[in-house]
Chain A
Amino acid sequence: MTGKQSCRLPSGGMIDRSRPLHFQFDGRDFEGHAGDTLASALLANGVKVAGRSFKYHRPRGLFGAGVDEPNVLVQLGGDTGTTNLRATEIELFEGLKARAVNCWPNARFDVNAVNGLLTRFLPAGFYYKTFLWPSWKLFEPIIRRAAGLGWVPERCDTTEYDTRYAHCDVLVVGSGPAGLAAARAAGSSGARVILCEQDALLGGSLLYTDAEIDGLAGPAWVERVQGELESYGETQVLTRTAAVGYFDHNTVVLHEKRLGRNESVDHRLWEVRAKRVVLACGSLERPIAFAGNDRPGVMLTSAVRQYVRRFGVLAGKRAVIFTNNNSAYELAKVLTAAGGIVSAIVDTRKTVPGGLADFVRTTGAEIFQGAAIAGTRGRHGLTQVTVRDGTGSTCRIAADLLAVSGGENPNVQMFCQSGGKLIYDEVLAHFRPGTTVQAEVSVGAANGTFDPATTLREGHDAGANAAVLTGFEPQARAPAGCTQDPAYAIEACWHVPGKGKAFVDFQNDVAVSDIALAQRENFQSVEHLKRYTTLGMGTDQGKTSNVVGLAVMGELTGRSPQKAGTTTFRFPYTPVPLAAFAGRARGTLYRPLRQMPAHDWHAANGAVFEEYGGWRRPAHYLRPGENAAKAEQREAIIVRERVGLFEASPLGKIEVKGPDAAGFLDRIYANTMSTLKVGNARYGLMLSEQGAIIDDGIAARLAEDCFLVGTTSGGAGRIAQWLEEWLQCEWIELDVVAAPVTTAWGTITLAGPRARDVLNAVGTDIPLAASEFPHMSFRVGTVAGIPARVFRVSFTGELSFEVNVPASRTQELWQAMMHAGRVFDIEPVGVDAWMLLRTEKGYMHIGVDTDGTTLPGDVGWGHVLKRGGDFVGRRSLSRPDAKRGDRLQFVGLESVSGSALPIGAHILTKDGASDGYVTSSGYSPALKQSVALGMVRAGRARLGEEIALAFQGDRHKARIVTPGAYDPEGKRLNV
């Protein structure tokens, strides 16, 4: 097939004929030129059927030339490709490989075309009806298989995505005549201007119409303005960049596409905050619905014109034009000049404005007034159309191209997303911007202005005004003159009555008859119509179909389009890959993970890392021949028998200082802190205002007016913010500062019977004898020559020292301890063993054993609560619910059968309902039995009771016991 571009004109178009590009579509080889889109190149090669419709798999061809294309959706690339791209938006590149979606094996011969024969069994809403009769289960597998467009790529996406933020004084959306005039006026003032254009080229309609501005042909004027914009230092021009979203406070989201250009980025999502926005988004042509209007060869008039002028492609040799407005007559000139034959113009209006018809008649084309297209023929593309005139008599005309225009819809997407309200213009038969809400203005065709001179003036004035409003002085003068197109005039015609399917939404196969069905079944609100029929719900979001569909429903229900209204316009205007939102935040950059100060040592010594609350921490240290379970058991034994070293740096540390520090902590903790002596430490519980336990930890008094508040690792950031909230919002009279210092300190915990020996060996000026440094106290000194804050507290139930040193010296201390501990057989311990040790000991872990409903009384801490004065959550503890006798309570669980109790297993009542659940569990190497903790209904009153548990179909038996099977008297702590 290579080299055969049968529909390419011998000259003309903005393509580079010296640069041929080779590409593949549905496995066949083709050639196009630089400057082509995939669509124009397919059309140049005479490809008629290039897609299949979603529901009936009807053959479809190109209908549009831009973002509104409903039919030709393709999958680009191989197993890493991107799906559901519009062929009209893909710039051709060498080696491009595309496949039509929703068909197999290809668009021309599609196996599922059999659906077309079942049309009468698949009416609008058939899908919902299958829910009711006979059974959804019967239809579900079939519908699921048929649903969806395109294929999920098999390999990981290699496309490069990026995101960027920008600020500007004036954002201009669209670079047609109005947009260019606006950008030029605003840019000349020195204001920061961003001009975005979804196309690869600036110019919009100037690229394919005959307008002359300031004595220059459209494209030449565009080139001149482009030069001017480049000379303004603060103006940025973004091509291939569509404005897709308009959000609060003038935030506009842009989607920049650079696919297939071998650049560092394929997609970039911009979030632009603009002081003023000028919307020059142009208009989109809409079709008229008639029987057989989806046959390949039926196209929008604006598309046919663009293919000729911009790409040098003649979409058909014998054309018929069907219209209800003036713009189609220009197309007759364009086609004739390009060597095509226009057989007829079929105009639904009874009278055609005089001047227009004269030229057309000189070409030999027949003009049918007050007539309509009643049908089409052709198996793989159009061969004949049926014209019905005002009297009802019909005739057939041979044609391979039928260009249709039902009028222009101002592109109000961005305007509506900004919150603006539309009005329906009865004269021009379209919705255009009415009430403005944000700092934006619509100009040109987007504002329903189609006269070129007015368009230019609107654009210029809006750009200049936006510059003035942001404090700048525009310098550029307004464009002087502009040739006039024939005035735009229209008589609304939405569809041609008659037999046969007249499609409104091509992509979703919604026909006029489906809208009528929805009306009969009372889905008459436009939002109901949309959901019931899927009108406008395709990847094109109804760009060609919405207004037609809503107007048809309006006609059926006797409402004007203004009354019927439109559906809500939502982000995004054109499809944006989800990956573009993620941008660079993928893989290791998905979320930055924090590393502990001694990370490098752990990494070099067999640590297996896992993520805990945003930190990468060693779960265990693997030795040759070990698995995770074996490593956990070995490390737990080391702590019980000798000594283990554990890095606890993520433990939260907050310094609370000021004359009111003690009083403040009395209100924050549920137990008293003000009685703590300097140098001592105390365990404390923090509650939410609902009374639930939100954190626990050790607080130490460094001085009369200074405390070090310890939090759980997971609570470090949350609790610091919590303290600030109370200080800033509720008790603003308190003289206290709370400084989070978590990452300023590294924390290394020595645990085990030989912990004191190791600390001695590494060298410290702190007296370590039990009498001088007892359990639950705190000292400041040096350890291994490093300034240190040392807590004698325990998470494991063994003799334990928590040594805090400046983060930068943590690894140094770690190495010193490993070295000094060698004679005591010291080993590093990971989080797995650490959690097992506290489970053995029966220490609760906030957020593991407790949840957002657990009150202090539920975990046996009712007796330590402060008696006098208020604290956060206090009042909630006397609610009736808090005093219920059947609350879940924290208990130990001893397996009766000896098997480990799975975490999450439910304790069963006699009736088989849940009476609580297992929260922590493990096999204790010290006790040689499985140990577990859980929350059990009225558990503390049921000690000794044997209970049944269920987990994923398995049954277990256990006995309720006091938490803390290991060393219940705490002898090993006080040594």
Chain B
Amino acid sequence: MLLIECPWCGPRDEIEFQCGGQSHITRPEFDKAGDAEWAGYLYFRINPKGVHYERWLHAAGCRQWFNLARHTVTHRILAVYRIGEPKPDVTA
């Protein structure tokens, strides 16, 4: 059970959150993207052993989306940052 530091509400239990998967995905422009690029945007996700940058929603709290960097093996949360902010440099 993760303890997640919501940027707005502070440390809260995982049960209050929903995970939105990989973050920092760029949405292609509809009139420029080829089928392969669009399929990549829709369906292809990385699955790293190590640091994963992902979106979370504080669904049972402030209902705000935010980003965090989580180590997929240790489940350590290495950084929490707001949507629109660049990927922080973290070392596992």
B28:A875 contact, CB within 8 angstroms: yes
Give which listed residue, A251, A729, A879, contacts B65 with CB less than 8 A. Answer: A729
Quote the shortest CB–CB distance from B18 to chain A (angstroms). Answer: 9
B8 to chain A, nearest CB (A): 12
**CB-based contact A248/B2 at 8 Å:** yes
Q: Are A689 and B42 touching (Cβ within 8 A)?
A: yes
Select from chain B the residue with minimum beta-carbon distance to A879: B35
- Report chain B residues within 8 Å CB of A419: 74
The contact size tier of chain B is 20 to 34
Give the CA-CA distance A879 to B64 in the complex, in Å.
33
Q: Per-residue CB proximity of B70-85 to A under 8 Å, as 1/0?
A: 0000110000000110
Compute how far the CA of A729 lies from the CA of B26 in the bound complex, rounded to whole angstroms. 11
Q: Mark B55-92, 1 if CB is under 8 A from A, else 0.
A: 10101000111000000001100000001100000000
Beyond A249-B2, A724-B63, A729-B65, whether A876 also contacts B55 by CB under 8 A is: no
Residues A875 and B1 in contact, CB atoms below 8 Å apart: no
Complex Cα distance A248/B1, Å? 5
Q: Is the CB of B1 within 8 A of A271?
A: yes
The reply on A953 being an interface residue by CB < 8 A is no
Q: Is the CB of B1 within 8 A of A247?
A: yes
Inter-chain contacts of B2 with A (CB < 8 A): 248-249
If A248-B2, A273-B13 touch, whether A875 touches B83 (CB-CB below 8 Å) is: no
Q: Are B74 and A728 in contact (CB under 8 A)?
A: no
Q: Is A880 an interface residue (CB 8 A)?
A: yes
B1-56 interface (Cβ within 8 A of A): 1-3, 13, 20, 27-31, 33, 35, 38-39, 42, 55
Contact status B30-A249, CB under 8 Å: no
Residues of A contacting B74 with CB < 8 Å?
Answer: 419, 437
Report A-chain residues with C-beta under 8 Å of the C-beta of B35: 879-880
Chain A contacts of B30 at CB under 8 A? Answer: 870, 874-875
Pair A876/B38 contact, Cβ less than 8 Å: yes
Contact of B27 among A271, A724, A730 (CB under 8 A): A730
State the CA gap A730–B24 with chains docked (Å). Answer: 10
Cα distance, A251 to B3, chains bound together (Å) = 9
Q: Which of A217-254 contact B (CB under 8 A)?
A: 247-251
Contact A879 B38 (CB under 8 A): yes
Number of A interface residues in the complex (CB < 8 A): 25
A:650-709 near B, CB below 8 Å: 689-690
By the criterion CB–CB under 8 Å, are B1 and A728 in contact? Answer: no
Contact of B83 among A248, A721, A728, A876 (CB under 8 A): A728
Contact: B75 with A249, CB < 8 Å?
yes
Residue A725 at the chain B interface, CB threshold 8 Å: yes
Query: In the complex the two chains form, what is the Cα distance from A165 to B65 in whole Å?
Result: 26
Instruction: Chain A residues near B13: list those with CB within 8 A.
Output: 165, 273
In the bound complex, CA of A955 to CA of B60 (Å)? 49
- Cβ of A732 within 8 Å of any chain B Cβ, yes or no, is yes
- Across the interface, B33 reaches (CB within 8 A) one of A165, A248, A728, A875, namely A875
Bound together, the chains give a CA A689 to CA B38 distance in angstroms of 10
Query: Are A729 and B55 neighbours in the complex by a CB distance under 8 Å?
Result: yes
Determine if A729 and B63 form an interchain contact, defined as CB atoms under 8 angstroms apart.
no
Which of B3, B28, B33, B64 contacts A249, CB < 8 Å? B3
Decide: A732 near B83, CB < 8 A? Known: A437-B74, A879-B38: yes
Most buried by B among A273, A729, A732: A729
> Which residues on the B side are within 8 Å of A271 (C-beta)?
1
Give Cα A725 to B18, complex, Å. Answer: 12
The answer to whether B1 touches A251, judged by C-beta atoms less than 8 angstroms apart, is yes
A437 to B73, CA, bound (A): 11
- In the assembled complex, the Cα of A169 lies from the Cα of B30 at a distance in Å of 52
What 0/1 pattern do residues 718 to 762 of A give for CB contact below 8 A with B?
A: 000100110011101000000000000000000000000000000
Contact between B59 and A721, CB atoms less than 8 A apart: yes
Over the window 844-881 of chain A, the binary record of Cβ atoms lying under 8 Å from chain B Cβ atoms (1 yes, 0 no) is 00000000000000000000000000100011100110
The complex places the Cα of A251 from the Cα of B13 at a distance, in Å, of 10
A728 and B64 in contact, given A248-B2, A721-B59, A880-B35 (Cβ under 8 angstroms):
yes
Question: Given A248-B1, A690-B42, A725–B84 Cβ distance below 8 Å?
Answer: no
- Expressed in whole angstroms, the minimum distance between the Cβ of A89 and any Cβ of chain B is 26
Query: A248 — which chain B residues lie within 8 A by C-beta?
Result: 1-2, 75
The main secondary structure of chain B at its interface with chain A is: loop
Residue-wise interface mask of A (250-290) relative to B, using a CB-CB cutoff of 8 A (1 in contact, 0 not): 11000000000000000000010100000000000000000
Task: List the B side residues contacting A870 at CB < 8 Å.
Answer: 29-31
Contact status B33-A729, CB under 8 Å:
no
Tell me which residues across on chain B come within 8 A of A732, comparing CB atoms.
Answer: 83-84
Closest A residue to B67 by beta carbon equals A729
Q: Give Cα A419–Cα B76 distance, bound, in whole angstroms.
A: 12
Distance A732 CA – B65 CA, assembled complex (angstroms): 11
Please give, as numbers and ranges, the residues of chain A lying within 8 Å of B31 by CB-CB distance. 870
Residues from chain A with a CB closer than 8 A to the CB of B33 are: 875
CA distance A165 to B3 in the complex (A): 14
Q: How many whole Å from B59's CB to the nearest CB in chain A?
A: 7
- Given A870-B29, A880-B35, CB of A729 within 8 Å of CB of B83: yes
CA distance A565 to B59 in the complex (A): 42
Residues of B within 8 A of A689 (CB): 42
Chain A residues within 8 Å of B55, by CB: 729
| Closest B residue to A875 using CB positions | B30
Assembled-state Cα–Cα distance A355/B69 (Å): 60
Q: How far is the CB of B3 from chain A (nearest CB, A)?
A: 4
Q: Which residues of A sit under 8 angstroms from B3, Cβ to Cβ?
A: 249-251, 273
Give, as a whole number of angstroms, the nearest-CB distance from B38 to chain A: 5
CB of B90, distance to nearest CB on chain A (Å): 17
A729–B21 CA distance with the chains assembled, in angstroms: 12
Measured CB to CB, the closest approach of chain A to B7, in angstroms, equals: 12
Task: Tell me the residues in window 616-650 of chain A with beta carbons closer than 8 Å to chain B beta carbons.
Answer: none
Interface string of A139-165 (1 = CB under 8 A from B): 000000000000000000000000001
Q: Give the docked Cα–Cα distance between A479 and B39 (Å).
A: 67
Report B-chain residues with C-beta under 8 Å of the C-beta of A876: 38, 42
User: Is the pair B65, A725 in contact by a Cβ cutoff of 8 Å?
Assistant: yes
Residues of A within 8 A of B42 (CB): 689-690, 876
Inside 8 A of A721's CB, which chain B residues have their CB? 57, 59, 63
Q: Are B38 and A249 in contact (CB under 8 A)?
A: no
Interface centre among B2, B30, B33, B64 (most CB of A within 10 A): B30
Q: Which chain B residues border A273 with CB–CB below 8 Å?
A: 1, 3, 13
Among A165, A728, A730, chain B packs the most CB atoms within 10 A around the CB of A728
Q: How far is the CA of A483 from the CA of B71 in the complex (A)?
A: 47
Residues of B within 8 A of A728 (CB): 64-65, 83
Most chain B beta carbons < 10 A, residue from A690, A874, A875, A876: A875
Specify the chain A residue showing the minimal Cβ separation from B66. A728
Most buried by A among B1, B28, B74, B83: B1
Give CA–CA (A419, B75) in the complex, Å.
11
B1 to chain A: closest residue by CB: A251
Set of chain B residues within 8 Å of A690, measured between Cβ atoms: 42
- A247 to B42 Cα, complex, angstroms: 33
Q: Nearest CB to that of A717 among chain B residues?
A: B59
A471 to B82, CA, bound (A): 30
- Distance, CA A249 to CA B59, complexed state (A): 20
A530→B21 CA distance, assembly (Å): 35
The chain B residue sitting closest to A248, CB to CB, is B75
Enumerate chain B residues within 8 angstroms of A251, measured Cβ to Cβ: 1, 3
Question: How distant is the Cα of A406 from the Cα of B64 in the complex, in angstroms?
Answer: 57
Bound CA–CA A874/B1 (angstroms): 38
In the assembly, what is the distance between CA of A728 and CA of B84, in Å? 9
**B38 and A875 form a contact (CB under 8 A):** yes
> Distance (Å) between the CB of A740 and the closest chain B CB?
10
| 9 examples of A-B residue contacts, CB within 8 angstroms | A249-B2, A271-B1, A437-B74, A721-B57, A725-B65, A732-B84, A870-B29, A876-B42, A879-B39
List the 9 closest A-B pairs by CB distance, nearest first: A251-B1, A875-B30, A249-B3, A728-B65, A248-B75, A870-B30, A874-B30, A247-B1, A729-B65
18 more A-B residue pairs beyond the given contacts A729-B83, A876-B42, with a C-beta to C-beta distance below 8 A: A165-B13, A248-B1, A248-B75, A249-B1, A249-B3, A249-B75, A251-B3, A689-B42, A721-B57, A721-B59, A725-B57, A728-B64, A728-B65, A870-B29, A870-B31, A875-B28, A875-B38, A880-B35
